Amino acid sequence: MKNWLDKTILAPVKRRSFMKWSTAVSGAAMASSALPLKAIASATADNNVIASDTKTTWSACMVNCGSRCALQVHTKDGVITSVESDNRGDDKEFGQHQIRACLRGRSIKGRVYNPDRLKYPMKRVGKRGEGRFERISWDEAMDLMADKLKYTISEYGNDSIFFTYGSGTQGYRTDGQHAFKRLVNMIGGYLGYHGNYSWGQIQYALPFTYGTKKPSAFGSYTSEIKNAKLLVMFGYNPAETRMSGGGEIYEYTQALRESGVRTIIIDPRYTDTMLGKEDEWLSIRPGTDAALVEAMAYVMITENLVNQEFLDTYCQGFDEKTMPAGAPANGHYKAHILGQGADKTAKTPEWAAKITGIPAKKIIQLAREIGTTKPAYIVQGTGIQRQANGEQTTRAICMLPILTGNIGLPGTHTGDMPANFGYPVPTLPSGSNPVKVQIPFFLWTDAITRAHEMTDKTDGLKGGTKLENPIKFIISYAGNALINQHSQINKTKEIIADESLAEFIVVVDNHMTPSARYADLLLPDVTTIENTEVSSDGYASGSMGAVVPLVPAIKPLYECRSAYEMCTMLAQRFGIEEKYTEGRTHEQWVEHLYAGARAKDARLPTLEQLRVQGPFQILAPETGRIALEDFRKDPIKHALGTPSGKIEIYSTKLADIANEWTLREGDVITPLPQYVTTWESHLDPKTREFPLQLVGFHTKGRVHSTYHNVPVLREAVMDGVWINPIDAAARDIKNGDAVRIFNDRGETRVLAKVTPRIMPGVMALGEGAWYKPGKNGVDMGGAINSITSQRPTPLSKGNPQHTNLVEIAKA
Ligand SMILES: Nc1nc2c(c(=O)[nH]1)N[C@H]1C(S)=C(S)[C@@H](COP(=O)(O)OP(=O)(O)OC[C@H]3O[C@@H](n4cnc5c(=O)[nH]c(N)nc54)[C@H](O)[C@@H]3O)O[C@H]1N2
Ligand SMILES: Nc1nc2c(c(=O)[nH]1)N[C@H]1C(S)=C(S)[C@@H](COP(=O)(O)OP(=O)(O)OC[C@H]3O[C@@H](n4cnc5c(=O)[nH]c(N)nc54)[C@H](O)[C@@H]3O)O[C@H]1N2
Ligand code: SF4
Ligand SMILES: [Mo]
């Protein structure tokens, strides 16, 4: 017994001795580390009673990587022995191909049996953030939470309750966020947010260009690439960010194989998506893509390569002819590009070369190629918009397909991120939120400290013009944004450590994360491997959707409970248990909702069949795969949701916003998509002190901060800051050296990865490493948010987390 326990459960622990681990997570885990063996033994002994020798169950990796890979969990006597990917069929037929998991999903056992695992409800005992907790019972925990909620509602109001962003269990349909929001809606609601850390700037900005009508993602599927003659990708990196065998990278590589399309990738980093498969890599200075686009527009206009008929018929504001009434003279795009606009600057290739770092000759060549090759599929990732001028860049990139008329036809796209088909799996109804006002997702720390100043016209509130109350009660469910994933950790820490501001913080997680340390109440959730669900395919599954079953492979470890169970216990304390549950257990909700789905779609197997067969796959309909196809065919009948019904190169709504809003000094909003020099760009005077630009990226070593604490992944993917040999030599930094990266907001320690795969003057660091406070606010964990800024972008008030000036030195 002890032998296999050692192997199966304690293996991960060996890498970090118990002693080290308990000092690392301090008193919180100390309380539990005193009895880990006993606890594990009792949890597993319990499992032994119900388990019958060996079995295999379907589950899924539910983190936020955009995919939802199927997993097969093998257990023996109620303990996971190994985890396999989807390996059904011969994997030949598209649409029935395996939804293969990446290195992370396959190592999920390391997250289930992890020494950081939260075992019992715990209550804070030391100062907030110190990480000292004591074990309490579920009854005590639920009484405490219900009392604090009641107090908050009566003292301040429901609009002072806030859920931080949390995407750790994206795939849940009947549990997780849905369970919590259903409950809080029933007791009067909470302060919501609009947008998200992923593509807040795209989502906010592109409707000004393309309108808000469906399809709301103005994209073509990547499968359309097979019909294109040219593929141009701005910071789109599916090989690292869409790694699932059932997602974008699979579809993308299939399309490349079928067409051999010429591929140009624009990114400061030489990414894994390239690795010899690209025809051309253009390394660009971060935040300057809009300047590149403008110079290409200059070449296209002066060399007659624009599609004038398309611009006249489908667009507003390319030239004088299609400008709206009341717009300023020479306010159109052509004038702006040719130097006849307000800034009197011609956007020549020489002008852009200085800004972007791409030679003028190359810009001319690229413009001619894009101007003459049809169809061209032009696409962006979301890293380009996680920049201080993100809204401008995302709209600017769309100008390339617009200028060349590469829209609405086979082999084209709109310049947005690609579209994906999602099979609509039903969700637990969460009701509607009685609190209507919403803050931008990125400004929650501001809503704690300066709520009374925030309005629709200064801070992007929606659904109301001002905030009545500051945030007083925070629920962080499956999120690490309370510390790790939000910008400027040193500032966030100071705000949330102050108990007079946010008075109560609840964290619901599987692990003792950097955010969990700031909880007043810690609630241990089951992992997805311990839970039941019928999930969907995720939001990056290409043109194939799926219905994915999760069957509990093991019984909940320790005292972990699901969010639905927690909310049922809370509902009892508000006297609304019957209303909340409608008489159903969690499993009964899964069955009930699935039965409803089957009644509507006869293709679905029975729940029993689904749970045995694994994911049920469905291809997107043949029509609707090309963005704006109907608009291209008939721009009157299928007018867009913009004020003019056309593609608005010149946006009248943005012209109004630019007039009406109060902006911070240096912020600019313009009706045309144009390059704007921002704070902490390569031209900022701050470069004298902090000369290097630092961008983050989403690393294959984890999904944000999830999976960071799985040792095998830390070995597989080195967490180093990418630095060009020229910049490294100037600082006597060698590959593998320990370095400190710093600016006026903080400092983080990490290893150096010296590589020509990053352009000179720029560094890149994978986001999501766990913040590990050392002395004087220095982070020893390589967490990029020690460096990033809370200053929001001008329009969406979103996260410019890739805009950072820094210096680096040997540690
Ligand atoms: N392995 C893994 N996959 C993930 C995630 C993860 O954490 N890990 N997270 C998932 C989530 S939630 C999201 S939102 C997506 C994010 O997916 P993306 O936003 O596409 O990912 P990023 O890595 O931030 O940025 C993509 C690329 O943009 C480049 N870039 C940065 N700034 C600029 C710029 O100014 N111009 C240009 N041209 N390129 C620039 C970066 O070098 C990077 O290679 O990934 C998803 N997939
Ligand atoms: N500097 C910088 N910061 C960034 C980004 C960047 O590019 N650069 N990217 C941003 C983006 S695009 C995103 S989407 C956000 C992501 O930010 P988050 O949504 O905070 O994502 P994670 O860091 O993965 O945190 C998920 C949490 O859920 C927990 N979890 C996992 N499974 C379960 C479960 O079953 N139950 C419960 N209760 N908890 C669970 C994990 O332990 C983890 O603590 O980060 C943003 N932050
Ligand atoms: S991290 Fe994403 S690609 Fe990897 S197994 Fe999980 S869902 Fe699949
Ligand atoms: Mo994201």
The number of the ligand nearest the C-alpha atom of 358 reads 1
How far, in Å, from the CA of 53 to the mean position of ligand 3?
28
For residue 166 and ligand 2, the question of a CB distance below 6 A is answered with yes
* Residue 700 Cα to ligand 4 middle (Å): 14
Ligand with the closest atom to the CA of 763: 1
Q: Is the CB of 384 under 6 A from ligand 1?
A: yes
- Ligand 2 pocket, residue 168 CB under 6 Å: yes
From the CA of 98, the nearest ligand is 3
| Cβ atoms 491, 790 nearer than 8 A | yes
pLDDT of residue 45: 41
Which of 68, 167, 387, 748 best tests ligand 2's pocket when mutated (most atoms within 8 Å of CB)?
167
pLDDT at res. 21: 27
**pLDDT for the residue 52:** 58
Ligand in closest contact with the CA of 61 = 3
Determine the atom of ligand 1 nearest the C-alpha atom of 697: 23
* CB 225 within 8 Å of CB 231: yes
SS3 content of the chain, % helix, strand, coil (to 5): 35, 15, 50
- Is 61 near ligand 3, meaning CB less than 6 Å away? yes
The helix/strand/coil state of 85 is strand
| Secondary element (H or E) of residue 299 | helix 289-302
> What backbone phi and psi angles, to 5 degrees, belong to 441?
-50, -30
Residue to mutate, 387, 485, 694, ligand 2, most ligand atoms under 8 Å from C-beta = 485
Over the stretch 646-683, which tens digit does the pLDDT of each residue have?
A: 999 999 999 999 999 999 999 999 999 999 999 999 99
What pLDDT was estimated at residue 623? 86
Residue 277, Cβ neighbours under 10 Å: how many?
13
Q: What is the pLDDT of residue 53?
A: 85
- The span from the CA of 232 to the CA of 366, in Å, is 10
- Looking at ligand 2, which atom is closest to the CA of residue 165? 19
Specify the residue with its C-alpha closest to ligand 3, atom 3: 244
- Tell me the CA–centroid distance for residue 325 and ligand 2, in Å: 46
Ligand 2 center to 441 CA (angstroms): 14
Q: Quick check: CB of 696 below 6 Å from ligand 2?
A: yes
- What is the DSSP track for 556-603? PPTT-B-HHHHHHHHHHHTT-HHHHHTT--HHHHHHHHHHHHHHH-TT
**Residue 631: CA count within 13 A, CB half-sphere:** 26
Ligand 2 centroid to residue 701 C-alpha, Å: 14
**How far is 708 from 695, CA to CA, in rounded Å?**
19
Distances (CA, A) of 159 to 4, 478, 495: 51, 21, 19
Ligand in nearest proximity to the CA of 106: 3
What is the distance in A from the centroid of ligand 4 to the CA of 157?
Answer: 30
| pLDDT at residue 89, as a whole number | 85
Residue 106: phi and psi, rounded to 5, are: -70, -15
* Cβ atoms within 10 Å, residue 102: 21
Q: Is the CB of 385 under 6 A from ligand 2?
A: no
Separation of alpha carbons 778 and 453, rounded Å: 31
Residue-range domains of the chain with CATH: 143-197+436-532+562-601 (3.40.50.740), 202-418 (3.40.228.10), 685-810 (2.40.40.20)
pLDDT at 7: 32
Q: Please tell me the distance between residue 784's alpha carbon and the centre of ligand 3 in angstroms.
A: 22
Structure confidence at residue 406 (pLDDT): 98
Nearest to 496 by CA among 509, 507, 508, 505: 505
Let me know the angle formed at the C-alpha of 400 by 396 and 406, rounded to the nearest 5 degrees: 140
Q: Which ligand is nearest to the CA of 556?
A: 2
Detail the DSSP E strand segments found in 103-229. Answer: 122-124, 133-135, 161-163, 192-194
Is-contact 421 623, C-beta < 8 A? Answer: no
Kindly give the distance from the C-alpha atom of residue 156 to the centroid of ligand 4, in angstroms, as a whole number: 32
Pocket flag, ligand 1, residue 682 (CB < 6 Å): no
Residue-wise pLDDT tens digits, 7-16: 333 333 222 2
Structural tokens at position 578: 């019957």
Task: State the Rg of the chain over Cα.
Answer: 26
Question: Ligand 2: does its nearest atom lie under 6 Å from the Cβ of 235?
Answer: no
**Which burial class, exposed, middle or buried, applies to 511 when counting CB atoms under 10 A from its CB (0-12, 13-18, 19+)?**
buried
Residues paired with residue 507 on neighbouring β-strands, in sequence order:
476, 522
632 within ligand 2 shell (Cβ under 6 A): no
- Residue ranges of the chain with pLDDT lower than 70? 1-52, 213-218
Which residue among 697, 708, 753, 759 has the greatest number of ligand 1 atoms within 8 angstroms of its CB, and so is best to mutate?
Answer: 697
Strand order in the sheet with 376-380: 280-282, 262-266, 230-234, 376-380
- Spacing, Cα 705 to ligand 2 middle (Å): 6
Cα 12 to ligand 3 centroid, rounded to whole Å: 21
Contacts of 257 (CB under 8 A, 6+ apart): none
- Using the structure block, give the residue that is written with the tokens 């052509």: 334
